[in-house]
Amino acid sequence: MSDVKEQAGKLDGWELDGEKLKKTYRFDKYLDGIQFVSKLGVYAESVQHHPDISINHTNVTITWTTFSKKELTEKDVAGAKAADNVLKA
Ligand SMILES: C[C@H](O)[C@H](O)[C@H]1CNC2=NC(N)=NC(=O)C2=N1
């Protein structure tokens, strides 16, 4: 297994699915999820690496992959960590 995937496998609550890293965050309130997405969007712009985001009422699913390379990269692992940190901030 690649180094990146080994790192990905150690992340809390993140599911490794092929070349994708996925996690669903569940919020009590709809606008809490929206605020989380907004903050993560600021991060994504700052590093020019953007996750797929699916909002289903109070559940927000974040999927990281590097589409230009069609594979999981260190940027995706960093993005997953950043998403968890955004939640704590
Ligand atoms: C030019 C720009 O940096 C690229 O198009 C970036 C933008 N954000 C990106 N985000 C992700 N997830 N994968 C990419 O390959 C990617 N490419």
What mean pLDDT do residues 38-64 have?
Answer: 98
Q: Which pLDDT band, with edges at 50, 70 and 90, does 15 fall under?
A: very high
What mean pLDDT do residues 5-13 have?
Answer: 95
Q: Please identify which residue in the block is written with the tokens 């969007």.
A: 41
Domain 3-8+19-88 has CATH 3.30.1360.20: yes
pLDDT tops 80 at residue 45: yes
pLDDT tops 90 at residue 31: yes
The beta-carbon contacts of 44-53 under 8 Å, at least 24 apart in sequence, are 44/79, 47/75, 47/78, 47/79, 47/82, 49/75, 49/76, 49/78, 49/79, 51/79, 51/83
pLDDT of residue 10: 95
CB of 48 closer than 6 A to ligand 1? yes
Q: Cβ(22)–Cβ(62) under 8 Å?
A: yes
pLDDT of residue 89: 82
Domain ranges of the chain: 3-8+19-88
Q: Quote the ligand 1 centre to 84 CA distance (angstroms).
A: 20
62-74 residue pLDDT tens: 999 999 999 999 9
In terms of C-beta density within 10 A (0-12 exposed, 13-18 middle, 19 or more buried), how is residue 80 classed?
Answer: buried
Q: Which pLDDT band, with edges at 50, 70 and 90, does 20 fall under?
A: very high
